[in-house]
């Protein structure tokens, strides 16, 4: 039986309806189900009684419902339900938000297992929105219970049942593809043992052994695939670009390059003048001067009679780069153009013709650069700015507009050093680790609702001084599930009640592209003084007069994202500020916000973000073209990451093409994964 090809409907109780629900979880075959790992485990061998609960700690409690749920209406979109449960040691309150089904589910006298974060206030104990499951007499409470991520129509009980059945009919067909020399050296259990004990661990030690094997395997395959991808790319001959005298370009700048910028320029020029195609990422904090580095590379290509293209995520940013860099490049004899979705049709045709005839050296643009109508004469350099905003296929399409094109990616999203090799393992990485002189620190403050009026007064003061302000919200509209500020509500309140005499704009993801561009242009030109927005402005343009960034519900953002948003201000001569409003304050949130207040180094902040929250925003299929990890974690499994990296490197040094008999299964997995990595 080939598990990866056996439809899930061979299991009892799974018809078309259940199969459709499972497909939403990515489960189509028996192998999909066996490798659909639990998101966490409830150690019911270590139940905590209610009296022994500790504040802010997660615990598992068995308790009986003693009062019926009561409904409490707070405001439109926010209702909560509260009831009490009891064990032999005491009583605990349970609260759920916006879930009307709670009223009918928790009947007095029923026993449940609750898992969640406990809150202690004096003698009162409470859990808010805990995980729960009715205790069935047929299910032992003294076991380690897997908890899976679900979708509508599926229950934990059902998923545990079908996983168990799938394992029983599949165990004799599970093939262990990991080379025996690696399993011995790194003391890894068999794949059969790992699959069984990741779903139904006999004890905590067996669970730990199973996890290590599966985490090692996931990292090992990923790193080997990335190394193979890089090997392949390094062998591709590229367009050779001759080095030239940079002094004409540098003399047009009103500043000197930093040592870090000079080092990165040398790395890029060394690449494009070499034998092979460049595939390099320039990673630099907000305001570190990545754009001028890209301009130097484009200048060198143009002087070699070769073309360059820079693709950016928004028209406003494309126009800014075009305006700023054309002033430097045009007087040096470099012909530039701007190509976006809103470029007039007549002008577009002219640009298409000139690109095709090599009459344009450098083109700046958005997705318009990768349409079928855009053809180049001799494209040598493809630059993608804020590359994580584009899908993998989009980035590749730009490079495919020429033959053996050098690719340069730029990002201001600080990636922790421990992640960079994995996420960008198929690229060479250049790091700009210092800011240009004069780039000022943005003073950052974390405040609560009690400071609202003072902050409004401060905003008014900044605007009256000729400056501008951003106000960022985590949501477009009011969320019934989570009580957070919405951009539409904030905008309406500020415009109608707080600042009726100040021009205010709004930008969010549900607006049409042209509407967003128009609103951004008004803010860039200074027509509007306050811009209320969602995180769509995280990657944006320079607005030198923007001196104030106010972020609502800051606790809802990752540290790296907060740092990116903060980077929108502090770009001019005037002192700039960032105000972090927090609705919730607990130990973890205070720690995170304190990092933002004290640190202005994006790389340090990203390391802390990784440590506190896990990879989150750093990692994703769309952004980086990598498969989502099923069980491994970059924040907690770094030791295994390093071990698997050594094993991968050693295997490839001994058998670069994976031709040995013991490496056949590995090669098949790598080939399958590499297709996804290069799509």
Token output for 594: 């304190």
pLDDT at 192: 96
Give the alpha-carbon dihedral of 294, 296, 301, 307, to 10 degrees: 50
Looking at per-residue pLDDT, the higher value among 532 and 482 belongs to 532
Collapse the DSSP code of 46 into the 3-class scheme (helix H, G, I; strand E, B; otherwise coil) and give the result.
Answer: helix
pLDDT band at residue 138 using 50, 70 and 90 as cut-offs: very low
pLDDT at 292 over 50: yes
Would you tell me which CATH number, out of the four given (3.20.20.140, 3.40.50.300, 3.40.1260.10, 1.10.10.10), belongs to the domain 443-599? 3.40.50.300
pLDDT band at residue 230 using 50, 70 and 90 as cut-offs: low
Averaged pLDDT of the chain: 86
Per-residue pLDDT averaged across 455-472, rounded?
95
Q: Which of 185-199, 230-244, 258-272, 290-304 has the lowest mean pLDDT?
A: 230-244
pLDDT band at residue 474 using 50, 70 and 90 as cut-offs: confident
Q: Which residues make beta-bridge pairs with 348?
A: none
pLDDT at 614 over 80: no
Q: Which of 191-200, 255-264, 613-622 has the lowest mean pLDDT?
A: 613-622
pLDDT at 325 over 50: yes
pLDDT at 380 over 60: yes
pLDDT at 432 over 90: no
Do 113 and 92 contact (CB within 8 A), yes or no? no
b vs e for 449-470, b when ≥16 Cβ sit within 10 Å of the residue's Cβ?
Answer: eeeeeebeebbbebbeeebbbb
pLDDT at 545: 93
pTM of the model as a whole: 0.62
Note the maximum CA span of the chain: 84
pLDDT band at residue 392 using 50, 70 and 90 as cut-offs: low
pLDDT at 480: 43
pLDDT at 617: 45
pLDDT at 438: 62
Collapse the DSSP code of 61 into the 3-class scheme (helix H, G, I; strand E, B; otherwise coil) and give the result.
Answer: strand
pLDDT at 546: 93
Token output for 679: 């799509």
pLDDT at 343 over 60: yes
Q: Please tell me the distance from the alpha carbon of residue 68 to that of residue 111, in angstroms, as a whole number.
A: 13
pLDDT band at residue 433 using 50, 70 and 90 as cut-offs: confident
pLDDT band at residue 676 using 50, 70 and 90 as cut-offs: low
pLDDT at 492: 93
Q: Which of 244-253, 527-536, 664-673 has the lowest mean pLDDT?
A: 664-673
pLDDT at 141 over 60: no
Do 339 and 307 contact (CB within 8 A), yes or no? no
Domain range annotation of the chain: 40-147, 247-274+289-411, 443-599
Q: Please tell me the distance from the alpha carbon of residue 238 to that of residue 222, in angstroms, as a whole number.
A: 26
pLDDT at 159 over 60: yes
Looking at per-residue pLDDT, the higher value among 375 and 316 belongs to 375
How long is the chain? 679
> What is the DSSP track for 264-308?
HHHHHHHHHTSSB--EEEEEE-TTS-HHHHHHHHHHHHHHTT-EE
CATH fold of the domain at 247-274+289-411: Rossmann fold (3.40.50)
Per-residue pLDDT averaged across 119-125, rounded?
92
pLDDT at 162 over 60: yes
pLDDT at 482: 52
pLDDT at 416 over 80: no
pLDDT band at residue 393 using 50, 70 and 90 as cut-offs: low
pLDDT band at residue 616 using 50, 70 and 90 as cut-offs: very low
pLDDT at 54: 93
pLDDT band at residue 678 using 50, 70 and 90 as cut-offs: very low
Token output for 531: 């811009």
Which CATH superfamily is 40-147 part of? Nucleic acid-binding proteins (2.40.50.140)
Cα–Cα distances (Å) from 529 to 469, 492, 538, 543, in that order, read 6, 15, 18, 11
pLDDT at 430 over 50: yes
Q: Which of 144-148, 225-229, 455-459, 621-625 has the lowest mean pLDDT?
A: 621-625
Q: Please tell me the distance from the alpha carbon of residue 282 to that of residue 290, in angstroms, as a whole number.
A: 7
Q: Which residues make beta-bridge pairs with 7?
A: 29
pLDDT at 376 over 50: yes
Q: Please tell me the distance from the alpha carbon of residue 473 to that of residue 490, in angstroms, as a whole number.
A: 8
96: how many CB neighbours lie within 10 A of its CB? 22
Per-residue pLDDT averaged across 291-300, rounded?
95
Kindly state the percentage of the chain with pLDDT values over 70: 89
Indicate the DSSP class of residue 496: I
Q: Which of 235-244, 402-411, 668-677 has the lowest mean pLDDT?
A: 668-677
Q: 362: burial class by Cβ within 10 Å (0-12, 13-18, 19+)? A: buried
| Residue among 511, 481, 506 nearest 496 (CA) | 506
Tell me if domain 40-147 and domain 443-599 are identical in fold: no
pLDDT at 647 over 70: yes
Looking at per-residue pLDDT, the higher value among 259 and 418 belongs to 259
Looking at per-residue pLDDT, the higher value among 621 and 514 belongs to 514
Do 190 and 212 contact (CB within 8 A), yes or no? no
Cα of first residue to Cα of last residue in the chain, in angstroms, is 30
Q: Please tell me the distance from the alpha carbon of residue 428 to that of residue 230, in angstroms, as a whole number.
A: 9
């Amino acid at each position: 039986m080939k598990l990866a090809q056996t439809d899930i409907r061979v299991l009892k109780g799974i018809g078309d309806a259940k199969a459709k629900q499972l497909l939403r979880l990515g489960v189509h075959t028996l192998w999909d189900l066996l490798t659909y790992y639990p998101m966490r485990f409830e150690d019911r061998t270590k139940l905590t009684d209610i009296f022994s609960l500790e504040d802010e700690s997660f615990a598992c409690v068995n308790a009986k419902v003693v009062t019926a749920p009561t409904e409490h209406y707070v405001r439109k979109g926010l209702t909560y339900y509260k009831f009490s449960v009891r064990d032999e040691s005491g009583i605990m309150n349970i609260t759920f938000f916006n879930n009307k089904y709670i009223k009918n589910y928790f009947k007095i006298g029923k026993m449940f297992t609750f898992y969640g974060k406990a809150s202690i206030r004096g003698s009162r104990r409470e859990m808010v929105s805990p995980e729960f499951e009715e205790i069935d007499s047929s299910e032992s409470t003294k076991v380690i219970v897997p908890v899976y991520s679900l979708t509508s129509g599926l229950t934990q009980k059902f998923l545990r049942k079908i996983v168990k059945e799938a394992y029983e009919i599949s165990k004799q067909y599970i093939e262990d593809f990991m080379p025996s020399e690696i399993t011995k050296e790194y003391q890894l259990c068999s794949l059969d043992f790992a699959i069984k004990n990741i779903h139904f661990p006999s004890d905590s030690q067996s669970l730990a052994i199973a996890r290590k094997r599966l985490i090692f395997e996931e990292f090992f395959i990923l790193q080997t695939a990335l190394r193979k991808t890089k090997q392949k790319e390094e062998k591709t001959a590229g367009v050779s670009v001759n080095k030239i005298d940079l002094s004409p370009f540098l003399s047009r700048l009103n500043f000197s390059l930093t040592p870090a910028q000079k080092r990165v320029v040398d790395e890029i020029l060394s690449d494009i003048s070499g034998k092979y195609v460049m595939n390099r990422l320039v990673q630099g904090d907000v305001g570190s001067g990545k754009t001028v580095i890209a301009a130097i590379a484009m200048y060198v290509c143009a002087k070699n009679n070769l073309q360059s293209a820079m693709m950016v995520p928004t028209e406003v940013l494309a126009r800014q780069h075009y305006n700023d860099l054309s002033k430097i490049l045009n007087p040096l004899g470099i012909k530039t153009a701007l190509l976006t979705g809103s470029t007039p049709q007549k002008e577009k045709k002219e640009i298409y013709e000139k690109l095709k005839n090599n009459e344009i050296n450098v083109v700046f643009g958005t997705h318009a650069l990768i349409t079928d109508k855009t053809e180049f004469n001799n494209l040598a350099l493809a630059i993608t700015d804020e590359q994580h905003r584009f899908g993998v296929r989009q980035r590749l399409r730009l490079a495919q507009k020429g033959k053996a094109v050098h690719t340069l990616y730029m990002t201001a999203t600080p990636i922790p050093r421990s992640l960079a090799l994995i996420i960008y393992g198929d690229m060479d990485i250049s790091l700009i680790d210092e800011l240009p002189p004069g780039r000022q620190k943005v003073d950052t403050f974390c405040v609560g609702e009690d400071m609202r009026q003072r902050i409004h007064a401060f905003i008014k003061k900044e605007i009256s001084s000729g400056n501008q302000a951003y106000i960022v919200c985590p949501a477009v509209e009011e969320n019934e599930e989570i009580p957070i500020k919405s951009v539409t509500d904030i905008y309406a309140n500020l415009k109608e009640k707080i600042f009726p005499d100040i021009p205010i704009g709004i930008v969010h993801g549900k607006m049409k592209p042209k509407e967003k561009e128009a609103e951004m242009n008004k803010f860039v030109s200074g027509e509007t003084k306050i811009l209320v927005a969602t995180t769509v402005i995280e990657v944006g343009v320079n607005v030198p007069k923007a001196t104030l960034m106010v972020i609502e519900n800051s606790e809802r953002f990752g540290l790296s994202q907060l740092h990116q948003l903060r980077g929108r201000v502090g770009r001019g001569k005037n002192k700039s500020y960032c105000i972090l409003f927090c609705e919730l304050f607990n130990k973890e949130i205070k720690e995170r916000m304190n990092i933002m207040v004290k640190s202005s180094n994006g790389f340090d902040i990203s390391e802390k973000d990784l440590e506190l929250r896990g990879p989150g925003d750093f990692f994703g299929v769309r952004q980086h073209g990598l498969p989502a990890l099923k069980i491994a974690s970059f924040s907690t499994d770094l030791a295994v990451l390093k071990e698997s990296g050594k094993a991968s490197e050693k295997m490839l040094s001994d058998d670069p093409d994976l031709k040995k008999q013991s490496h056949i299964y590995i090669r098949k997995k790598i080939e399958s994964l590499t297709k996804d990595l290069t799509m």
